[in-house]
Amino acid sequence: MIRITDLRHRLLDIPDLTLSTRHIAVIGPNGGGKTTLLSVCSGIEEPEAGSVRLLGRPPSAVKVGWVGEFPDRTLLFSRVYDEIASSLRFRHRPCPETDRTVRAVAEVGGIPRLLGKKVSALSGGEKALVALAAACVDDPEVLVLDEADSHLDAGTAERVSRVVQESKAAHILWCTQSMDTAATADYVLFMENGRVRHRGTPDEVFSALEETCFYPTMWRVCR
Ligand SMILES: Nc1ncnc2c1ncn2[C@@H]1O[C@H](COP(=O)(O)OP(=O)(O)OP(=O)(O)O)[C@@H](O)[C@H]1O
């Protein structure tokens, strides 16, 4: 469970929010506070007031995997293998176990052929897949994606969805500008001006957004 109480941080103002579903989509206009909310929920930023609890603990006590919109800013190592292995190495996992786990997560992400490459030689979409593999390799309890799918072709975005769904994370907080992706979530938060304007199942939230640009294209076509 994710529990937010009296949260105030910059423009964020969320008095009370309890999220118990696994896949939570965070959507809304630019500047609405989505990244700020994800940063606070991930423990990257301490809230100015109020509290966030993930699985009953403060975010700093939870294994959180983070994938940002610009992997160039977060990828630390020059080789793909080293990047994906880094969190296991930081925890001093045995080398054979690390090797097995890195290869397994690369397999799920469809990137075994990238393991020997230099990060600087990858395309933007390949970097996103590497960042996702690095975030998933240590079995995060909570997986947070901040518009990680924004520069991906449809096939790569589909692969990202598969890796995310196959992760063992209890919660996936996924900020996306793809309303079709958000429509596949269990629960949707629509953020505007730092507040949660709409919350509920995709049906509940998107029915309130039918006249706006925040309505899934696939729903317009197929429903
Ligand atoms: N470090 C910061 N210091 C002060 N204000 C900030 C900081 N980071 C973001 N903001 C402001 O907070 C507001 C919300 O930003 P945030 O990045 O959370 O929005 P967002 O919904 O993720 O937007 P986008 O869809 O454009 O990425 C914006 O007005 C932004 O200018």
- The CA 46 to ligand 1 mean position distance, Å, reads 15
Given a cut of 90, whether residue 140 has pLDDT beyond it is yes
Q: What is the per-residue pLDDT for 154?
A: 86
Residue 56 in 3-state DSSP? coil
Q: Which of 7, 8, 11, 69 to mutate to test the pocket of ligand 1 (most atoms within 8 A of CB)?
A: 11
Going from N- to C-terminal start, the domains of the chain cover: 1-63+142-223, 75-138
Task: Assess whether the C-beta atom of 68 lies below 6 angstroms from ligand 1.
Answer: no
Report d(CA 42, CA 39) in Å as an integer.
Answer: 5
Q: With cut-offs at 50, 70 and 90, classify the pLDDT of residue 21.
A: very high
1-63+142-223: CATH architecture: 3-Layer(aba) Sandwich (3.40)
Q: In what order do the strands lie in the sheet with 12-19?
A: 12-19, 2-9, 49-54
Please name the residue that has the structure tokens 């994606």: 145
Encode pLDDT of 157-206 as tens digits: 888 888 898 899 999 999 999 999 999 999 999 999 999 999 999 999 99
Task: Assess whether the C-beta atom of 42 lies below 6 angstroms from ligand 1.
Answer: no
Q: Which of 131, 135, 134 is nearest to 152 (CA)?
A: 131
Q: Whose CA is nearest to atom 4 of ligand 1?
A: 10
Ligand 1 atom nearest to 69, measured from its CA: 27
Element (H, E) at 41: helix 34-42
Encode pLDDT of 109-135 as tens digits: 999 999 999 999 999 889 999 999 999
Q: Whose CA is nearest to atom 17 of ligand 1?
A: 35
Q: With cut-offs at 50, 70 and 90, classify the pLDDT of residue 72.
A: confident
Q: Give whole-number Cα distances, 84 to 54, 103, 202, in Å.
A: 24, 9, 33
Q: Which of 36, 69, 144, 193 to mutate to test the pocket of ligand 1 (most atoms within 8 A of CB)?
A: 36
Given a cut of 80, whether residue 223 has pLDDT beyond it is no
Whole-model pTM over 0.90: yes
**Average pLDDT over the chain, rounded to an integer:** 94
Q: With cut-offs at 50, 70 and 90, classify the pLDDT of residue 66.
A: very high
Q: Whose CA is nearest to atom 28 of ligand 1?
A: 31
Q: In what order do the strands lie in the sheet with 187-192?
A: 64-67, 142-146, 171-175, 23-27, 187-192, 195-200
Ligand 1 atom nearest to 146, measured from its CA: 22
Q: With cut-offs at 50, 70 and 90, classify the pLDDT of residue 34.
A: very high
